Amino acid sequence: MKPIAIFRHAATEGPGYLAEFLDGRQIPWQLICIDAGDAVPHRAAGYAGLVFMGGPMSVNDDLPWIVPVLALIRDAVAQDVPLLGHCLGGQLISRALGGVVSRNPVKEIGWGEVTVADNDTARGWFGGIEKFQAFHWHGETFTLPQGATHLLSSAYCVNQAYALGKHLALQCHIEMTAEMIESWCAVGADEVLASRDSPAVQPAGEMQRQMEIKLPRLHEVATALYTRWIAGLRG
């Protein structure tokens, strides 16, 4: 089987629980570290699927890797290679396919409830799940590309996820592990402090206190979504 390519854009924002999920099913994957200077592949056909993780940058920034990544995403759609985006990754997919990425009304950082949309596509991805506590860390948001179906929303961000056929784009983070949350709280301490007046930003200590209760359920949701996504992998 061809490997899944997982694109990392920041050292602290690796595949997290997704790696555990894939390893447990003996699905091969390759980490492409954009943050370390790895080259962006020219074609998607060499991979079973493409996964784009998060990062502190904006897809609207003038960074040398963004244009080739957007081209790769469009090639993946043309070649029927499934895409999966987490936060920045979902924004990259949106922009590549004609959507717009802009500032969200407020920053959203920490645990927060998301609601599954009332449509058949959302039920296909989420089954009987109607709401769950996701993890958030973003200041921007995406619009849905043409033909996409809305899947998730929160009180502070309307577009939390969408699907376009076998492609899945998320604004929220379902890939979190305890180690990732602790790391992000340390690296992002100044951002949390500067945004403390936002109603959608939790103190770092509160994010970490809630991990024990909320991470197991988040992993259940992630397992359901990842299971549906890998069903579309190319051989």
CATH of the domain at 21: 3.40.50.880
Residue 235 lies inside a defined structural domain of this protein: no
Residue 101 lies inside a defined structural domain of this protein: yes
Quick one: CA dihedral 191, 196, 198, 201, positive or negative? positive
| Mean pLDDT (10-residue bins), the chain, 235 residues | 97 98 98 98 97 97 98 98 98 98 97 98 97 98 98 98 98 98 97 92 97 98 98 92
Residue of 87, 157, 172, 185 marked active site: 87
Query: Is residue 62 packed enough to be buried (19+ CB in 10 Å), middle (13-18) or exposed (0-12)?
Result: exposed
Cα separation, 146 vs 99, in Å, equals 8
pLDDT of residue 235: 77
Residue 121 lies inside a defined structural domain of this protein: yes
Q: Is 173 a catalytic residue?
A: yes
Residue 169 lies inside a defined structural domain of this protein: yes
Q: Is 42 a catalytic residue?
A: no
- Segment (H or E) for 123: helix 120-126
Domain extent at residue 219: 4-230
Secondary structure E strands in the chain: 4-8, 29-33, 49-52, 83-86, 101-116, 131-142, 149-154, 161-164, 167-170
pLDDT of residue 81: 98
Locate tokens 């058949």: which residue?
120
pLDDT of residue 152: 98
Q: Is 179 a catalytic residue?
A: no
pLDDT of residue 196: 86
Cα separation, 163 vs 152, in Å, equals 10
Residue of 9, 86, 136, 173 marked active site: 173
| C-alpha distances in Å from residue 170, one per residue of 18, 43, 134, 136 | 14, 23, 11, 10
Q: In the chain, how many domains are there?
A: 1
